[in-house]
Amino acid sequence: MKRKRRETGLGVDRTVYDADIYDGLNDFTHDLPFYLELARKARGPVLELCCGSGRITLPLLRAGVKVTGVDFTGSMLAAARKKAALEGLGGAFVRGDMRKARLGKKFKLVFIPFNSLQNTYALGDVEKVFATVRAHLAPGGLFQFDIFNPSIEYMVKMSKLHKGRYRFTTPEGKKVVIDEVCRYDSAAQVNRATWIHHIDGGRPVAQRLDMRCFYPLEMDALLKYNGFRVLARYGGYDKRPFDSSSMKQIYVCRAVRP
């Protein structure tokens, strides 16, 4: 008899949120011009939900944008604060859950970068995130976020183990190799990735990276019924039109006032 696989809860494991490893893996900058333009056009304070270790926050601060970053991961916030302090930057970094955070302030732009909304799995939690955004948007303010455009072909391809998918050296000099394998949970609509970390040749450590898939028409409906009007949806940070070949869904929205 074939043994049924034992399921674990949805989520993201600790090593994936390690700031040192995160910074070594995510050192790209191609999206920064998009965020700089958006923040400057907002002409007011900016709120970044899921700011992580400050990959986007710090360049905005350097450009003179008044930014508040919120994240629930202590190691990420500690790294962001340390970087900001070393450069004498004055941004605020606040620990909080984007489903519940209430800062008592309004912002001209609220954004959730780098697929972070996809770590919100239940419909009720997605709606709580949208409520947080609405609670912090100033009149006429913009809400921006990005998510993957789900590809069944890609998820089938990634169902086989890909050894050495990511290779990098952390800022502290650790050599990291990450193997990746994925399994699509169609009932939960979640791509269940497993990242197997090899750090400095040590014992492999398997970590979850579960990503909730939001299909384009589904997200359009979620936004509409949670009080947002879509102003633009791009297929890339160069503002190319969104279509079936797009890897990303990049939304720019405005809250619909009662």
CB contact at 8 A, 30 and 94: no
Check whether 180 has a pLDDT greater than 70.
yes
pLDDT band (50, 70, 90) for residue 8: low
CB-count burial class (<10 Å; 0-12, 13-18, 19+) for 237: middle
- SS3 of residue 190 by DSSP: strand
pLDDT (tens digit, 9 = 90+) per residue, 94-122?
999 999 999 999 999 999 999 999 999 99
Q: In which residue ranges of the chain is CATH 3.40.50.150 found? A: 19-149+213-255
Q: How far apart are CA 202 and CA 209, in angstroms?
A: 21
Confidence of residue 4 (pLDDT cuts 50, 70, 90): very low
**Which ranges in the chain are annotated with CATH 2.20.25?**
151-212
pLDDT in tens, 193-223: 999 999 998 999 999 999 999 999 999 999 9
pTM (2 decimals)? 0.94
Longest dimension (CA), the chain: 63
State in words which class domain 19-149+213-255 has.
alpha beta
How much is the mean pLDDT over the chain? 94
Query: What are 150's two structure tokens?
Result: 């789900």
Could you say which architecture CATH assigns to the domain 151-212? Single Sheet (2.20)
